[in-house]
Amino acid sequence: MSAKREALSWTDSSGNVYHYYHKPMLNAVIFVLLQELCERLAFFGITPNAQTFFKEYLNYTDAEANSYIAAFQAILYVTPLFAAVLSDTFLGVYATILSFSLIYMIGLLLLFLATIKSISQPWMIHLSVLVLITIGGGGIKSCVNVMGAHQFHPEHHKADITQYYTYFYAAINIGSLIGGIATPIALQETNFTVAFAIPLAAFVVATAVFVLG
């Protein structure tokens, strides 16, 4: 995080020195929790409407739309493996989250643009759903919880780590609930453009806060 750190440090067995906030939950972890909440909001803001979207914009049957969704989810849950390797060997956790968040954001933007029928093209949907969102969403999945856990001193904050994971899974559930309720209502009352603007806006805000934090 970019804010000035307070004087609390720890040295591992290899001689690497790590610095921590005295109150990491307020000074650093809150940004991680917000990132996770909004990522889940974005994901579950898309999936409840996905079948209807694919049928309307790609002229898919129910079976074809379901197969497309299954392929999307399969790719999404494979990509975290590659992101974890990339994080551990090259980029580090923070840079990995930021890089894949930008990919995710571009995917959400492209999907949003694909809802505008005057410019919508099938390739926009395929690229956003099967490539950008799956790579971006899967890429941060294996790193966000680790990023939060790394903010706690191994000795001074032992008791706080359990509380962190409680908050982390609460963020998952809250984001999923908001996304799963808000976008179907928006679609029912308006259209896909408005409905898919919600996950895009939420994720843009979360990523901006993550970077600034």
pLDDT band (50, 70, 90) for residue 204: very high
Residue 5 pLDDT > 60, yes or no? no
What whole-number percentage of the chain has pLDDT above 90?
64
- Amino acid at residue number 161: I
pLDDT per residue as tens digits for the range 32-41: 999 899 999 9
The better pLDDT of the pair 12, 201 is held by 201
Task: Spell 192-201 as b/e; 16+ CB within 10 A means b.
Answer: bbebbbbbbb
Residue 2 pLDDT > 50, yes or no? no
Helix, strand, coil percentages (3-state) for the chain, rounded to 5, are 75, 5, 20
Nearest to 102 by CA among 212, 1, 213, 203: 203
- pTM of the prediction? 0.88
What does pLDDT average to over the chain? Answer: 89
Q: What is the mean pLDDT of residues 176-193?
A: 96
The predicted pLDDT at position 132 comes to 97
pLDDT band (50, 70, 90) for residue 1: very low
CB 54 within 8 A of CB 66: no
CB 143 within 8 A of CB 84: yes
DSSP string, 91-150: I-HHHHHHHHHHHHHHHHHHHHHHTSTTT--HHHHHHIIIIIIHHHHHHHHTTHHHHHHT
* C-alpha dihedral (70, 128, 77, 210), degrees to nearest 10: -140
| Secondary structure class of 19 (helix, strand, coil) | strand
pLDDT per residue as tens digits for the range 118-158: 999 999 999 999 999 999 999 998 899 888 888 887 777 87
Helix (H) or strand (E) holding 42: helix 30-57
Q: Which domains does the chain possess?
A: 27-212 (1.20.1250.20)
Residue 21 pLDDT > 80, yes or no? no
Nearest to 171 by CA among 137, 206, 138: 206
